[in-house]
A and B are shown apart, each in its own frame.
Chain A
Amino acid sequence: MTAVKLTLDRLTKQYRAGLAPAVDRLDMEVEEGHLVALLGPSGCGKTTTLRMVAGLMDPTAGRIVVDGRDITATPVHERGMGMVFQSYALFPHMDVAANVAFGLQMRRVAKSKQTELVRNALDMVKLGHLASRHPKELSGGQQQRVALARALVVEPTLLLLDEPLSNLDAKLRETMRTEIRSIQRRTGATTLFVTHDQDEALDMADRIAVMNGGLIEQFGTPADIYERPRTRFVADFIGRANLFEASVAAASGTGSKGETVYRIDVPGIGTSEAIGEAGLEGSQRTVLVRPHRVQVELGAQPGGLTGTIENVSYTGDALGYSIRLGDVLLQVERHTADGTIPARGEQATVRWAAEDAYVLPEEVRAP
Chain B
Amino acid sequence: MTATQAIRTVAQGEHPPLQRSAEERRSRTRQRRTFWLLAAPAILGLFGSFVAPLLYMVRMAFNRGSSDGVIEETFTLDTFARAVEDPYYWKVTLDTFLMGLTVAVLCVIVAYPIALFLMRSQSRFKSVLIALAIAPLLTSAVVRTYGWMVILGGGGLINGTLIDLGLITIPLQLANNFTGVIIGLTEIFMPYAILAMMSGFGKLDPRLEEAAGSLGANRIRTFLKVTLPLSLPGALAAGLLVFVLAISTFVTPRLLGGGAVRVLATEIYDQATGLINWPFAAALSILLLLLFGAMIAGYQALVRKLGIDR
Contact = CB atoms under 8 A, between A and B. Distances in A.
17 contacts: A54-B210, A55-B213, A55-B214, A56-B214, A75-B213, A77-B217, A81-B214, A91-B212, A92-B310, A93-B307, A93-B310, A102-B215, A102-B225, A106-B216, A134-B310, A151-B214, A151-B215
A77 B307 contact: no
Interface in A35-90: 54-56, 75-83, 85, 87, 89-90
Given A56-B210, A85-B211, A87-B207, A80 B229 contact: no
Given A92-B203, A93-B310, A136-B310, A106 B214 contact: no
B308 A93 contact: yes
Interface string B207-241: 11011111111100110011001100000000000
A64 to B, nearest CB: 14
A75 B229 CA distance: 23
Interface string A81-117: 1110101011111000000001100110000000000
A160 B215 CA distance: 12
Nearest to A92: B203
A250 B40 CA distance: 87
B308 to A, nearest CB: 7
A107 B218 CA distance: 11
Nearest to B225: A102
A71 B249 CA distance: 56
Interface of B: 203, 205, 207-208, 210-218, 221-222, 225-226, 229-230, 307-308, 310
A150 interface: yes
Nearest to A135: B310
A93 to B, nearest CB: 5
A83 B210 CA distance: 9
A55 B225 CA distance: 20
A57 to B, nearest CB: 10
B216 A80 contact: yes
Nearest to B209: A89
Interface in A247-265: none
A274 interface: no
Given A55-B214, A85-B210, 16 more contacts: A56-B210, A76-B210, A77-B215, A77-B216, A77-B218, A83-B210, A83-B214, A85-B211, A87-B207, A89-B208, A92-B203, A93-B307, A102-B212, A102-B215, A106-B217, A150-B211
Nearest to A136: B310
A238 B207 CA distance: 31
Nearest to B217: A106
A241 interface: no
A54 B222 CA distance: 16
A337 B217 CA distance: 60
Interface string A260-298: 000000000000000000000000000000000000000
Contacts of A79: 214
B307 A54 contact: no
Identify the interface centre among B215, B217, B230, B310: most chain A CB within 10 Å of its CB: B215
B216 A107 contact: yes
Contact of B215 (A92, A93, A103): A103
B32 to A, nearest CB: 33
A134 B310 CA distance: 9
Given A91-B226, A92-B230, A106 B207 contact: no
B216 A89 contact: no
A208 interface: no
Contacts of B229: 93
A151 B215 CA distance: 7
Nearest to B208: A89
Identify the interface centre among B222, B226, B307: most chain A CB within 10 Å of its CB: B226
